[in-house]
Structure 1
């Protein structure tokens, strides 16, 4: 039976409730100096605020080596009543030093599989998805290496592969590599940040492949997210792809948290949901927030 692997154990898809399908409780990177998500109390408050507006689960896409704080996640989930899904995987090379990448060179797939089946570090928390990243309008050598490892880990475990698309670009190149070359079924691929490049032709082709399309990171006006998202999502829904669409918040900086005055996780339900509901109807948006994440991240775990 398909289940979602949360930090407290595997659960049925219907137990997720309203799901933020792409966000971060903890995140550090040399590309975000001084903006790290490290504070446990702030993460707890953010989850509680999300819960207060109806949130039931959060999928954290923070991968290997970027400050996941996996040992903290079970306690935060229990205390707030919000399911949390953790990730393995690897981001773009710019987020790591050479020593970290060098140490993974010949064992990346092995690390992914271990974190999915045994646990992240000594935390005992098992990851529930594999996160990787493409380049800008391209799949570079680093992306090919990480996606090859992700595909190997998928074939060993069944885990979903979630992809950061740089500024929303490169979706079709990613699908060519992951699905056509590496054999990952399209319904086990989630493409993130498509709202940042609102190209209806690419969106339609990606949806036709069978992949899940992530519209995440609301409130970023320079990415044309909020004001274009309703029309973009409506076109895909009208074309019959409503069951392929995922919504998320993607809070990546401390200043972006609601507890620090930013939009944070609650923004997805306070502002994005009603705006989409006015365009698509509340029932359809509810399915996008509940049923779709359950299908996207629930797998028949091979381990």
Structure 2
């Protein structure tokens, strides 16, 4: 009791660093990259200041910059030149992500871990994450699984180090695991978007990935933000189906979910610090309401403190410069 116990004794100078419970390092970070087949030079995304869509001709340059900063991994999202109702531009040998992976790996090899997002929303003309029955406007779960398997195999053949299914289709991890194993890619890990919520924080991403939906919303396959126990059920199923890493998305509004997942499963856990989280901090900083670097660090350290081993964040490059 006071005055014998004075917690301020440990908050002075470098003593503060010695007793720090949670640390943020370069090895925690993954930088997203948008690769757009329809542009010829990099274009800044208006709702995400400092983040760009890159043509295939510039994606290696961006990957090199990320690697030089010491960031160990990127996750790729593609915007194809052609979209149709079945997302057929998602799994071709020479489609946008397959070509981006091939170029990055040819130049950087094992210097950079290349993760690919496995979903259909960027490739479908309707913007949904699966095959649609237009009579009922239902997103069809099981027919979508075959497509996801084809996408994953095509990415692995191009040289991807890891695949990350994000569509929240039931059984997607098992379908992808089986497809990869049948093609001899049993050593390619799966990072599953296991607890992906139907969130308002994805708006800027949809601008970047040109993946807005033409009808309805995604609430029939993404999780209700009110549910916590359901997130653990989703994770349980994905782990049983073969997920090597599990992800919670978004991050900041769902720190409790990250904590519960990490505590319950004690396995590699990722969190996606999504576009809306990035955009609102950037907007507040631009208006002088927040110190951007301090707010960025506090946000990322809170995600790490909650239990995330991996943080996918649009702040990765900024954080890397700060940590260096």
1:215 alignment counterpart: 248
SS in 2 for 1:130: strand
1:205 lines up with 2:237 in the alignment: yes
RMSD of Structure 2 on Structure 1 (CA): 5.0
Task: Report the counterpart of residue 178 of structure 2 in structure 1.
Answer: 180
Number of matched pairs: 223
- C-alpha contact 1:20 1:249 (8 A) present in aligned 2: no
Instruction: State the SS of the aligned residue for 1:118.
Output: helix
Partner of 2:62: 73
- Contact 1:216-1:250 at 8 Å conserved across structures: yes
C-alpha distance in structure 2 between counterparts of 1:24 and 1:185, whole Å? 25
| 8 Å Cα contact 2:34-2:78 kept in structure 1 | no
Contact 1:258 1:266 in 2 (8 A): no
8 A Cα contact 2:27 2:71, kept in partner: no
Aligned residue runs from structure 1 range 250-289, under 5 A: 250-251=274-275, 256=279, 258-261=281-284, 269-271=297-299, 273-274=301-302, 277=305, 285=307, 288-289=309-310
CA distance, structure 2, for counterparts of residue 78 and residue 156 of structure 1: 20
CA distance in 2: counterparts of 1:186 and 1:206, whole angstroms = 17
CA distance, structure 1, for counterparts of residue 179 and residue 48 of structure 2: 41
Q: CA deviation at 1:90?
A: 4.8
SS of equivalent to 2:93: helix
CA distance in structure 2 between the aligned counterparts of 1:26 and 1:269, rounded to whole angstroms: 24
1:244-255 mapped onto 2 (5 Å cutoff): 244-251=268-275
Which ranges in structure 1 are unaligned for 5 or more consecutive residues? 1-15, 45-61, 220-224, 291-303
Deviations 1:166-190 (A, max 9, x none): xxx32x4211321134436497111
In structure 2, the CA distance between the partners of 1:68 and 1:209, relative to structure 1 (3 Å rule), is farther
- 2:114 maps to 1:131: no
1:56-76: per-residue Cα shift (whole Å, max 9, x none)? xxxxxx8x98x9952551564
Checking the alignment, whether the CA contact within 8 Å between 1:147 and 1:178 is kept in structure 2 is yes
Equivalent residue, structure 1, for 2:92: 108
Q: CA deviation digits over 1:137-159, x for unaligned, max 9? A: 75475664353132244256462
**Which of the pair is proportionally richer in helix?**
1
Within the candidate set 158, 161, 164, 1:159 is matched to 161
Residues 213 and 242 from structure 1, CA distance in 2 versus in 1: closer, same or farther, beyond 3 angstroms?
same
Contact 2:194 2:234 in 1 (8 A): no
Taking structure 1 as the reference length, what is the TM-score of the superposition?
Answer: 0.52
- C-alpha spacing 1:195/1:76, structure 2 compared with 1 (3 Å): same
| Structure with larger Rg | 2
Structure 2: gaps of 5 or more residues: 1-24, 121-128, 131-138, 198-222, 312-324
